[in-house]
Structures are given as C-alpha cells and as structure tokens.
Amino acid sequence: MAQSTQLEQRLQNLQNRLAQENPILLGAVKSFHTLDEVAYGLRFFNPEESYATRVSWWPLIAILGTYSAGKSTFINHYLDYKLQLTGNQAVDDKFSVICYSNEPTARTLPGVALDADPRFPFYQMSRGIEEIAPGEGNRIDAYLQLKTCPSEQLRGKILIDSPGFDADAQRTSTLRITNHIVDLADLVLVFFDARHPEPGTMQDTLDHLLTRTVTRPDSSKFLYVLNQIDTTAREDNPEDVVASWQRALAQTGLTAGRFYRIYSPEAAIPIEDEELRRRFETKRDTDLADIHQRMHQVEVDRSYRIVAVLEQTTRDLADTVVPRLQSLLARWRKRVFRTDGIVFGVLLAGIIMATWLTGTWQNWSFTHPFWDWIFTTPGLGWVVLAVALILAIYIHHSICKMTASRMATAIQRSTNPGHHREFLDNFVRAFRANATTWRSLFARRPKGWSNAISQRLKNVLIECDRYIQELNDKFTNPAGSSEVKVTPPAEAEVRN
C-alpha cells in the first residue's frame, strides 16, 4: 500500500509539472496509465509498477567515448564552466549525471542520490546491477555520481558523461548502465580520439560502442565525433585520418548518424600554416555549432521520443506480450493433458491389472471381494468415489503445478538479449497467474485480455497519432500563417 501511494504521488507530481511545461505530454501520462491498467489485468505488473516511471521525462544527452577522447574538455567548453577533470589518462571511472543548480558553485553527490530519486534516469539502478553482478548493487557509489552546475546551458536538460571505455576490460555492470543510458537518451554523442586512428587497434571499442546502434530505429540520435582533430594538422594529408575513421565505422555496418570533426579552441595546438589553420577552424566551428544546435533541440526531441515509447510499449503489449503468453499457455495445456493421460492411464491400467489378477471369473461373471464389499455396504461406494475424485484432483493439481514451474524456470533462463530481468520476472508472474489448476484448461485467452481490452490499446495508438499531430502543430507551421494556435494547459487537460 505504501509503495502504491508513493507511485501515485510520483505520477501526480509529474502531471503537475507537465501541466505547466507541456500539456501534450500530460495526455501521454494518462495514456501510460491506461497501459498500466491493462498490464495489471494481465498480472504483468504489480500495483506499484508503472510504465510512466520507466520513461525519462527530462531531455537527456549521453556522452560516450574512449579514454582520452576529450569528452570532459568538450563538456567544460559547452557549459562554459570547468566542471569535469581533464587529462590524457582516465580521470573519472564513474557515470556522471550533470544537472542544473541555482547554487553558485558546483557540487558532487554520491550515486545513492540518483539510485533513490525517481526523478532521475538511474532510479533503483542498484537492483539491475545486483542482478548481473551479485554484491555490486551495494556499491552504487562506485558506478554513479550526481554533479550540479550553475551553467545556463543545463537548464531543462540533463547531461550524462560516461567513463572512458576500455575495450580490454569491459565490466558487465558498466555495459548494463551504458545500454540503459543509450535507450533513454534523446541524443547520444560518441567521441573518438583522432590521435589513435588505427581501425585495427580500436575495432573492439568500436564494436562495444556502435554494434547496438546499427539496427536501432532511433539511430539518427547518434552523433559520431572525431575529437582533437587539430593533432592531425601536421600530417602530410590530414584527410587520411578522417578517411581511416570512416572506414573503421563502415566496418561495423554503420550507415546512419552524423560524423563530426572538432577540437577544443582552448586546448588546441598551434597550427602554423595560416590557410590550414583557417580550414581547420572553419570546419571545427561549423561542426561545433551543429552539435550545440542538436543539444539545444533535445527538448523537442524529448516530446517525440516519449510518444514513440508510448506507441512502442502499446504495440509490445498487444503484439508481443499477449501472443507469447497465449503461446506458452497453449504449450502448458498440451503438456498437462499429455501428462494427465500418461499418469491416469498408468493408474487405470494398474487398477485393471490388479483387479484381473485378484478377481474370479465364473460363467462370464466377474467377482471381486473388494468390489463386492463396497457395493454391498450402504454409502461406502460414494465415499470411495469421493476419495478417488479428491485423489484425481490432487494428482492433476500436482501435474499443473510441476509443469508450470518447469516452464517458468525456462522463461527465467531465457538468454534473449531483448528481454531484461525485470521483463522476464513480469512475464513469469503473468504466466503463473494463468497456469493454475482452477483456471479452465480450455480458456484460450489470458486473464485480463478481451476484445474490449484490445480496443483500449488500439485507442492508445490513435491517441499517439493525435499527440504527434499536436506536437507538429506546436513546432511547425506548414501553412505559413501568422497566427499559431497554442493550446492552454487547462483545455488540453480536459480534452485528454
């Protein structure tokens, strides 16, 4: 009950903020609540869970990259504030969540500040770490830290700076956090060091950073940054360095995303050739301006991203969760029927054989002392029948339970990379709620699923289209009219 109250308060706080900030997303919260109700009915969720809490409602910018790729220098330049430590070696081995603060000085807070605060994208991350690295969940401060900064560039957004990647010593927990960040982020900047352009030596790092991005539907949110390009100015042909990196990226199958060449104006090495210096600076300034513009754009991207998550979640429920649950229940019923047939067949054959061996045939008439006693004793036949029925029910119940337990264990051991532990646990809960003795073995639909529920999900998809149209109306004006309609928050709330 306390957890449900906490969830309700959390969602109410979110709605209050969105009512002022973005009424369109306020409607999305209510649509997420519809999905929650469907998931509750399917037993796929506990009452203290909500799809709305799995979405980052703040615009997120993730900055990934190799060691010494200049991520910290780039962040300091963007913030116009010396927040991150810089150096040629690894100077920070934690994920830093950077957000705005009204205080005049920056602060660094421990990882528990993120793990225990549902407003941040790492809420209860210690549980996820514990699942894949037992004992590490208690060391959340070794993985995460929260940094505050008074830079105006941070208003309304969150930056996440990752520790540098070491291709030879990847930690499973670090990769889990990285994948979590990539999934939530509205913009992902992937930094590489132009001083180490050899594709062969960096291939493992490229695989770690890029393999999962190639087939993503949101691959356009990835920007690939070749940093410290000024160090190549003394090369006979600087373009060869860029071409080398482009070939390395192509080997990973990368076909989407922008490729940028930048360096820090404050940390640049002198370029003596005037024409070469102007060429480098022009390209740097153009690419930096483009990157900064994309970072400024994340609030708009965030709105579309949340609606896209809402749509994908709805489709996953209707097209993945329910059909797979139905398929598993069909397999469970088939196994139960087969095992029932074997067990009861063996019992019946044993009874017949024992009766045959101990009975007597006389003139085509079969007699047996036990059966004669049952049928000649008043009421005893009904007692024997009741005992036999209870025993049959107990055997059937044991078969149902045993079969469900074996299948649930197989589900939990699933190695499908798209199914994380929380998803599998929820799926096992829904499966066990349906695979019971008292639920009809002939029921074809899972609990909580009906034509009416299916229609509710279709209505959410229709709402997603409406949200996109309203976002388009808010950010675009194809007709070129001088008046742009802005929907008042109160009106939007009533309509939603």
Per residue in 267-285, pLDDT (tens digit) is 777 777 788 888 888 888 9
Kindly state whether residues 84 and 113 are assigned to the same domain: yes
Q: How confident is the model at residue 415 (pLDDT cuts 50, 70, 90)?
A: low
Q: What is the rounded average pLDDT of the residues 104-121?
A: 83
Kindly state whether residues 76 and 132 are assigned to the same domain: yes
The structural domain count of the chain equals 2
Kindly state whether residues 247 and 290 are assigned to the same domain: yes
- 302 in any annotated domain: no
The size of the chain, in residues, is: 496
Kindly state whether residues 331 and 406 are assigned to the same domain: yes
Answer yes or no: is pLDDT of 149 > 90. Answer: yes
Residue ranges making up the domain that contains 107: 58-296
pLDDT per residue as tens digits for the range 456-471: 999 999 999 999 998 8
Residue bearing the bigger pLDDT, 417 or 420: 420
Kindly state whether residues 129 and 194 are assigned to the same domain: yes
pLDDT of residue 61: 93
Q: Which segment, 18-22, 187-191, 463-467, is predicted with the most confidence on average?
A: 463-467
Please report, for the domain that includes residue 261, its CATH number: 3.40.50.300
Q: How confident is the model at residue 488 (pLDDT cuts 50, 70, 90)?
A: very low
Contacts of 175 (CB under 8 A, 6+ apart): 208
Kindly state whether residues 328 and 220 are assigned to the same domain: no
- 387 in any annotated domain: yes
Kindly state whether residues 269 and 391 are assigned to the same domain: no
Q: What is the rounded average pLDDT of the residues 114-123?
A: 76
Q: Rounded to an integer, what distance in angstroms lies between the CA atom of residue 239 and that of residue 244?
A: 9
* 111, 175, 160, 106 alpha-carbon torsion, rounded to 10°: 30
- 95 in any annotated domain: yes
pLDDT per residue as tens digits for the range 347-386: 988 877 877 776 665 666 667 676 677 667 777 767 878 8
Report angle CA 297, 303, 304 to the nearest 5 degrees: 95
Q: Using the 3D structure, point to which of 296, 326, 349 is the last residue of a domain.
A: 296
Q: Rounded to an integer, what distance in angstroms lies between the CA atom of residue 95 and that of residue 65?
A: 12
Kindly state whether residues 1 and 127 are assigned to the same domain: no
Kindly state whether residues 336 and 319 are assigned to the same domain: yes
- 304 in any annotated domain: no
Kindly state whether residues 152 and 265 are assigned to the same domain: yes
- 305 in any annotated domain: no
Kindly state whether residues 70 and 212 are assigned to the same domain: yes
Answer yes or no: is pLDDT of 314 > 90. Answer: yes
Kindly state whether residues 88 and 152 are assigned to the same domain: yes
- 308 in any annotated domain: no
- 355 in any annotated domain: yes
- 307 in any annotated domain: no
Contacts of 226 (CB under 8 A, 6+ apart): 192, 194, 241, 242, 245, 259, 260, 261, 262
pLDDT of residue 487: 46
Contacts of 432 (CB under 8 A, 6+ apart): 404, 408
Q: How confident is the model at residue 289 (pLDDT cuts 50, 70, 90)?
A: very high
pLDDT of residue 19: 78
